Each structure stands twice: as structure tokens, then as C-alpha cells.
A = this chain, B = another copy of it.
């Protein structure tokens, strides 16, 4: 008797505006009477002209248009709360994120925090304070510059607390973007490193929702496998590109969105232990989010081989086309997964980032502090097991 597909709700009202020259439609996507705050990160949206294009597209907007720059990669509560204050003080009533997952996550938080009843610290839990639900948010749109996190078509976000060295997540039915503009050509100016990170991040998002145990959700499995095969096909091609290829970029962008827009998670168990372990690495050592996932995932699959046996075999056969005994297929699939990250020039061990065995206990202590003591799809990944995963990743 196999498990049954779980009950699920599917709801995603974000309007995706995908393709060439879609920025020009901004004018029609934001109601004319809205006072709009543009939120962005560092210099790249200025350097490569995206911010100028956005402003040009809003040149005839009737409401005021203001700006808040400087949202970091791994956006911090400390920075975002300044944006919240600005929004409240100036009565902005529409936010427009121009950037990647960090800017979009940050904008989601600002949208919720600006109209939150009480101190917005309560949007988070996990030792930061009592958690209270988000019940409303300002409307916001996004112009995506870096395909990776899927934040442009979901309702969740992650915020970093600098002093507490913590990355904490939030979400609600009210924090979906109203629209997201996805222009594949906007990715042409990304450094290869960012493209590689985006591919790796999307890959692990899919694995978190797929690499668990079977419940008979054939469509969710097929969709996950299709996205994994797509990333495996385009990853090396993106790294080898001499001039950007439109279709490669379009598939990259759409894969990253679909990896985390709710499609894959319906009715199935989810893991997210790689993210749990990875977030601590970023918080302590500042390593790019995607790279921390590439450090953790292959070792996690090794350590959790028994628990994930059936799905690993399915993954090996369908995604990698492997044959042989179950054990052989599993071993090869894990090796191929590691090699895939390495083909993106992403190191898959701590050593590759000049970190040694001292990290293990530091990281385990952080997991404990943040309550990540019984994680993964069955809640059976203890600190002991997480320690083993970190150790194997040295």
C-alpha cells in the first residue's frame, strides 16, 4: 500500500509578463493614482540601465515615484525597516521591486510590515519574537533581474538579522506580487557567477520538493523531473555562451520561476533541510546562498540515502537515464549531481571556500539556536545527522 497524495490548495494570482520589451507595459500595470516606491539593491540596476528603463516606462505615471536603494544580497531587517519607515512617512501605496530575489524578498517584507498591526518583528518567529500572522500588505510588482529564487511568483521571503546572525523566513496569502515582469534579455548583463548561482539555486529548490519519498503524485514528479532535465541541459550551455542566447535565457528564467511558484509542492512531502543547513553557512561565513546549497545537497543525499532510496532511484532513472542496481544508480546519480554543480564552477565542499573542520560545531550550534533540530520531510533529521552532513561536506 503506497502513500496517498496529500490534500492541497493551489492559489497563485501573480500576473507574469514574460518576453521581449515588456517593461514598456509597466505604465498599464500600475494604477495611475498610486504613489510608487521603487526598491532596488546595489549598483547593477543603475550600471546596466534597468532602473533608467523602469523610470522611463513610468515617465507618464500620474502619481509620484520615489526610490529606495541599497537593499543587500541577503537583505537585512536593519535596512528594510528603513524602507518601512519611508513608506509610512511618505504614504507610498504601491511598491515596485527592481532586482533579484533579495530585493523582491525585501520588498515583500516592506509591503507587509508597512501595514502590519504592531511591531513587524512579529512577522518572524524562531527565537526572534512571538509570531503573528500577516493579514494584509501593500500591493507590489517586480521587475526581475536575476532568475534564481522564484520570489517573483510566490508569497514567501527570507530576511537576515545581522546581529543575531540569522536568516528567517515569512510568507502569507497577501504577499504575492501583483505582477512580475520577466524579460530574458535583462539577464544578458549578469556575470557568469550569478547565472551559475541562479541555476544551482533553482535546481536545489526543485530537489527540496522532489527528493523525499513517493506519495504517487505523478504529475508533480514529472514536472520536477522536467525542470531538473531542463537545468541540466541548459546549465553547461549557459556557462559556455559566448554571446547570450535568447532561448537559453528564457528557459533559465522560466525554470527558476517554476522551481518555486507552488507547482511542485502540491500534495507532496517537502525537505528543505539543504536550505536550513545552507542558511547557517551564509549567515556565519557570507557564502552565496546558492553555493551553500551546492555544499550541502550532495553530502545530504549521501547521508540520507536510505531514507530517500525510492526517490533517488526514480531520479537516477528518469533524470539521469541511469541503469544498473539500485545502489549503483543512486551512487552515480549523487556523483552526477555533484558534477553538475562543479560544471557550473561551483565548489561542493567547505574546502573549496577555504573553510575547515572548525565550521562544523559552529554551524551545528547555530542550527540548535534556531530550533532546526528535527527537520526534513519526516522531521527526523536531528542535529547529529546535520553534523554528519556538514562533516561529510568538508
The interface of chain A, by Cβ under 8 A from chain B, is 2, 4-20, 22, 215-219, 222-223, 225-227, 229-230, 233-234, 246-247, 250-251, 254-255, 258, 263, 266-267
Given known contacts A227-B222, A234-B218, A247-B5, is B15 in contact with A11 (CB within 8 Å)?
Answer: yes
- Report the minimum CB–CB distance from A224 to chain B (whole Å): 9
Contact between chains at B15 and A10 (CB < 8 Å): yes
* CB-CB nearest in chain B for A11: B15
**CB of A141, distance to nearest CB on chain B (Å):** 13
Q: Tell me if B4 and A10 are in contact (CB < 8 A).
A: no
Q: Which of B5, B219, B255 contacts A219 (CB 8 A)?
A: B255
A7 B16 Cβ-Cβ under 8 A: no
**Cross-chain contact A16 with B20 (CB below 8 angstroms):** no
Contact A230–B226 (Cβ < 8 Å): no
Whole-angstrom distance between the Cβ of A206 and the nearest chain B Cβ = 12
- Please list 29 pairs of residues, one from A and one from B, whose beta carbons are closer than 8 Å in the complex, sorted by A's number: A2-B247, A5-B246, A6-B19, A7-B18, A7-B19, A9-B18, A10-B18, A11-B14, A12-B12, A13-B13, A18-B266, A19-B267, A216-B250, A217-B250, A218-B230, A218-B255, A219-B226, A219-B227, A219-B251, A219-B255, A222-B222, A222-B225, A222-B227, A222-B229, A223-B223, A226-B226, A250-B267, A254-B266, A263-B263
Which residues from B are CB-within-8-Å of A19? 5-8, 267
Contact A233 B218 (CB under 8 A): yes
Closest B residue to A228 using CB positions: B222
Would you give the shortest CB distance from A341 to chain B, in whole angstroms?
A: 20
